[in-house]
Chains A and B, each alone.
Chain A
Amino acid sequence: MKILAKRPKGLTDARLTYCPGCLHGVAHRIIGEAMEELDIVEKTIGIAPVGCSVFAYNFFACDMIQVPHGRAPAVATGMRRAQPDCVVFTYQGDGDLAAIGTAETVHAANRNENISIFFINNAIYGMTGGQMAPTTLPNMRATTAPYGRDVADMGYPMRVCEMLATLETPYYIERVSLLSPKDILKAKKAVKKALKYNKEKKGFCLVEMVSTCPTNWGLDPLASIDWAKKNMLPVFPVGVFKDEAKRQEASK
């Protein structure tokens, strides 16, 4: 018998606890594969946030820690100062990263901490049951925006990559999506690039992944993907917002 596919070394054997149709599993897998391919599982520390992916410490095979809501980039800062030869990544959702953890995210980026942030943007709070996120789309309904996000009252969705790209120091910032096999391959490339940059001690990397939440959007998994393509991507366009390596190469 020939093995065609198996779990990457970057993931444990634990059964994922995510909802059916959730794309966290896909994001976990590509990070796991990237760690294996870069041979860094043994020198990586992963940071699980508060939110749906709070149990990520059971799923990644590297050393793991679970930290307070929004504080992952600060914890990562402490870690990478204490273990400069390790690769440190955080895995955060939109509420964790762009609401309660905004300051930690912006300042870690501005200090060019040698860490990777994997930012899952599905425009909603998942774990707590569908509340409005900083990335919730205009007029999109959430349990705390039952009449839809009124931009006059609650502002527009925050574009984290675009905001961070205005800073001088961050090394690499890219937004990808997880909405098709082709997009997932691109996302994998971005994740691997970020971890490789960290392995080489280049500096701050953030990969935002546009994702879905079938459960809290009230759509089946396929309809969620269609909805995200139609509604999320125009607000959160994929692309590279900063890549210092490319810039330096181009200026040679």
Chain B
Amino acid sequence: MGEKILMKGNEAVAEAAIRAGCRHYFAYPITPQNELIEYMAKRMPQVGGTCLQAESEVAAINMVLGAAACGVRAMTSSSSPGISLKQEGISYIAACRLPAVIINVQRGGPGLGNIAPMQCDYFQATRGGGHGDYYTPVLAPSSVQEFADMAPEAFDLAEKYLTPVLIFADGLLGQMMEPVTFEDDYGPQSDKSGWSLGCRKGRKNNHIINSLFIDPYVLKEKTEELFKVYDTIVKNEIRYEYYNVDANPKILVVAFGTVARVVKTAIDELKDQGLEVGLVRPITLWPFPYKAVKEAAKKVEKVITVELNMGQMEQDVRLAVGDTCPTQVIGKAGGVVFTPMEVISMLKENLA
């Protein structure tokens, strides 16, 4: 463990990716993730890696596809509108069973929206995003340290399951500076010589990477294989955090990312006033921690989802809670970030 360094989230995740062995990064500028590509442009040449500013988001994700097919750790990053452009490539990467990491430093939408932090790409992120029957694991950090830690974690997950993995941050996390520490060594990469292209070295048969299965029965079989992998991911990789859930709260909040941090501040403040509120913070948004939310919901009178959009994760929360107790969503559009005071007063209305 190294010393603490004060860094922006965008820079910290870039540094962590490099330390995790990423030497191939392709991206296109977009606010609020520009520090990421700028950091890569500075650092990659120092470590003998590639940082290439692509002609478009579409090209960048396809460069990732090419590099990943050759067996290296490849990554791209963008913000909401750019992530929309990448969906074609992400669908192919998922179908081709290639490991890759994609970072979304979300901004306001729809359309060009604005450059304020939002969580409004939740549906896109957790429902595959592009065309076809597929999912991508989605990791949602809530601090700069966690953002950085998720880079090696995302690569490990991507290689373990041969899938694209999305790190789902927002403009606040990308721009905010916090102290962060890095491991010197994030462990070995997986052996990719069994399927990767271009490193033949005496291998007898050529390798073919493909997502075209013209025979419906073959495509059916391939998709079912993919979903067996997803079943394993759902079984093994759900991550979440409980906060103040054991304090007999009347209300349970579900919030992720930076919003969860604001909610934690509100919960601490309310505790001082003798009022107990619990929090479930989903860390993987897909797979979503349905059971964890349901279990916590059993002990409360109401579940409130707080998110920086008009209510997207709340659909998953309602799926989890069912008729266990009433639910409510507190959502906000435009990138107008919640303040702790605002959350406190909204929770107090429910506690009265």
Contacts and interface: CB of A to CB of B under 8 A. Distances in A.
Interface of A: 42-43, 45, 54-55, 57-58, 60-68, 71, 74-79, 81-83, 86, 88, 103-104, 106-107
Contacts of B244: none
Interface in B274-319: none
B77 interface: no
Contacts of A104: 55, 58-59, 62
B130 to A, nearest CB: 10
A64 B195 CA distance: 11
Interface stretch (B64-72, B168-176, B342-350): B64-72
A99 to B, nearest CB: 14
Contacts of A42: 200
A231 to B, nearest CB: 33
B197 A83 contact: yes
Main secondary structure of the interface of A (DSSP, over half): helix
Interface in B139-184: none
11 contacts: A42-B200, A57-B208, A58-B208, A65-B208, A71-B88, A77-B26, A78-B67, A78-B69, A82-B66, A107-B54, A107-B59
A198 to B, nearest CB: 13
Interface of B: 24, 26, 50, 52, 54-56, 58-60, 62-72, 74, 88-89, 92, 96, 197-200, 206-212
B72 A74 contact: no
B198 A82 contact: yes
A78 B70 contact: yes
A67 B200 contact: no
A75 B63 contact: yes
A86 B50 CA distance: 16
Is chain B's binding surface mostly helix, strand, loop or mixed?
A: mixed
A63 B198 CA distance: 6
Given A63-B198, A64-B206, A82 B58 contact: no
Among A74, A77, A78, A81, chain B packs the most CB atoms within 10 A around the CB of: A78
A81 B70 CA distance: 9
B54 A74 contact: yes
Most buried by B among A63, A75, A82: A82
A61 B204 CA distance: 11
Nearest to A87: B198
Contacts of A83: 70, 197-199
B63 to A, nearest CB: 4
Nearest to A63: B197
A79 B55 contact: no
Given A68-B62, A74-B59, A81 B210 contact: no
A60 B207 CA distance: 11
B206 A78 contact: no
A45 B198 contact: yes
B185 to A, nearest CB: 22
Nearest to B72: A82
B208 to A, nearest CB: 5
Given A75-B63, A78-B74, A66 B197 contact: no
B184 to A, nearest CB: 25
A79 B198 contact: yes
Contacts of B58: 71, 74, 103-104
A82 B59 contact: no
Contacts of B212: 54-55, 66
Contacts of A107: 54-55, 59
A87 B64 CA distance: 18
A98 to B, nearest CB: 16
A79 B66 contact: yes
Given A43-B198, A64-B209, 15 more contacts: A45-B198, A55-B212, A65-B66, A67-B92, A71-B62, A74-B66, A75-B63, A75-B65, A77-B63, A79-B70, A79-B197, A79-B198, A81-B67, A83-B198, A103-B55
For A54, A62, A83, the residue with the greatest tally of chain B CB atoms inside 10 Å of its CB is A83
B63 A74 contact: yes
B206 A71 contact: no
